[in-house]
Structure 1
Amino acid sequence: MSSVKNTFTIKDLENLSGIKAHTIRIWEKRYSVLEPMRTDTNIRFYDLHALQKLLNITLLHDYGYKISKISKLPSEKIPELVLEIISNKSAKSHAISAFKMAMMNFDQKLFLDTYEALLSEKSFREVFFEVFIPLMEEIGLLWQAETISPSHEHFISYLIKLKLLVITEKALNNKPIREDKIFVLYLPMDEVHEMGLMYLNYEIISSGYKSIYLGQSVPLDSLKDLKKYFNNIVYVCYSTVEPIKTKINPYVQEIKEQILVEDSQLWIIGRNVQNIDTTILSESVRKFDTISELISEL
C-alpha cells in the first residue's frame, strides 16, 4: 500500500493553505479555480494536483493578484508567475509550500531541491528562522488537526535535522577561539524535541566556543561527571514538554544545588520556561524565551 496521502478533504486544504473552507468553496463556485471530485455521498475531495494549484494560487493572492484575474490564467501560467515572484521577491512562502508538498508526498528530492534553492539566496540562519521555524509551527498545528500523520512530521523533521548536522559539521572545522565558557547542551530525561537544541549547538560553535552536545534524555549524573573535566561550564537545557509543569521548578532547583558550582551557569530555554518561578532565577540560572534571545548573549 502506498504511504503517500493523495486525497484531501476541504478541511485539509484549509489547514494546508490557510484559506478558509468557505472561501475555497466560493472560489470554486464563482471562479472555477478548483474542480473537486465527489464521493458516492457527494462529499468533496481533492487530489495532490488540486493541493499544489491551491498553494500556488494562495501565493499569488498573497502578493496582490485578484482571484478574478488568477481564474482567467491558463493553468501553465500560474506556476510561471509563482517562479517570477520567488525570484524577484521573497522565497519564504513558496518554500514553505514546497516543503509541505514534499512532506505530503514523502518526497526527499523536492525537499533537497527547495533547500538548495533557498541556500543559494539566504544564509542558513535566515533559512532556519524565516522558513524552518514557521514550517515546524505549521506542521505542529497540522498534526493537531489530524491533517497529517506522525510519519509526515517525522519525515520532514529528520531531513531538517540532517541539514543541521551538515552545517554544524562544517562549523566544527574551525577550532574554538573563545575560552571564557564551555557550553554543554542537553535535553532533560524523556524530552525528545531536539531541533532547537541542535540549532543552538551550531550557533555556539559558529561563535567560536567549545560545545559538548549530549542530546536527548540526559540524566543529571551525566552533568555531574563533566565538572571533573571542565570549568566555566554553561549548561544549556532545552525543555519543551519535560519535566512536566509541576516538576520543572524542582528540577531547576535540583540543578542549582547539585550541579552548579561557583563558575558554572544554567541557561534554560523552550516552551517550558513559562512555567518557571522567577524567584529561583539568579545570575547562575537564566531563562530565555526565544532562540534569538539566547544567541544574543553569545
Structure 2
Amino acid sequence: MRPFLVLICPVLLLLGLSYLLPFLGIMRLSFTDPVPGLAQYRTVAEDPLILSVIWRTLRICAIVTAVSVAAAYVVTLLWVRGRPLTRSIVELCIMIPFWISVLSRAFGWLSFLSNRGLLNTWLKDAGLIETSLQMTRNEFAIIVGMSHYLIPFAVFPLATAMRNLDERTLIAAEGMGASRLRIFWQVFLPMTASGILGATLLVFVFSVGFFVTPALLGGGQSVMVAELIYLWIFQTPKWGLAAAMSVILMLGVGSILVLLMRRYGRIAQ
C-alpha cells in the first residue's frame, strides 16, 4: 500500500494544483463579485434568457450524444467485426480526425453548409432547389459539427466492449437457430451496454463544454453555456455571474458523471 501511495501522491498534488485550486477560486468569486451573497446564483435561476440557454445546451448535447453514439456504434462494428480491408479503412477514418484541429473542422463545415457553400451549390446545379437552404447559424449546424468531432471519441469505449464480448455466446445463439437480427438485438447489443454507457458519458461530458464549434456554426444565433460564459468574461464584464454559471456547470456535469459511473459500474460487473 505504501509504494502505491508514494506513486499516487504526486498525481493527486498535480491535479489539486491544476484543477482544485482554480475551481475554488472561481467558486469564491461567484459568491463575492460584485457583492458578497447568492445574488449571482439567484440570477441564474430566475433569468429567462439564462434558463433558455441552459435548456438549449442540454437539448443540443442530448441530441449530439444520441447521434454520435449511434454513428460510432456502426463505425465500431465495421472496425471490430469487419473484413481486414474494411477494418484498415475504418481505422484510418477514425484516426485521421485526431490530426485535424477543432477549428479547422468547424471552418470546413462552415464552407460546406453555408448559403454559398458546396452543398447548396451542388443542390442548385442539380436543379433540386432554387434558393439556398439555411444550414448554418442554427442548431442544425451545431449538431452536425459537434457530432462529427465527437464520433471518434465514442468509438473507443464501444470497441473495448465489443472486443471483450464472449464469442461463444454468439455461437450458442446461432446454434439455437436465432437469426442474425435477433442475435444482434437480444444478445450482442445488451452485452455491449457497458460500452454504450461509457461512450454516452464521454460524449455528453465533452459536448457540454463545447465553445468553438457552436460559436462558429451557430453564428451567435444558438448560444450555448460555454459561449455565454465567454461573453460575460470578455465582452460584458460580469465575472461573478460567469463564475456562478461555471460552478453550476461543473457541479452539474460532476453529478451526471457520478450517476452514470455508478450505473456503468453495475452493468460492467
TM-score normalized with structure 2 length: 0.23
Higher strand proportion (structure 1 or 2)? 1
TM-score normalized with structure 1 length: 0.21
Higher helix proportion (structure 1 or 2)? 2
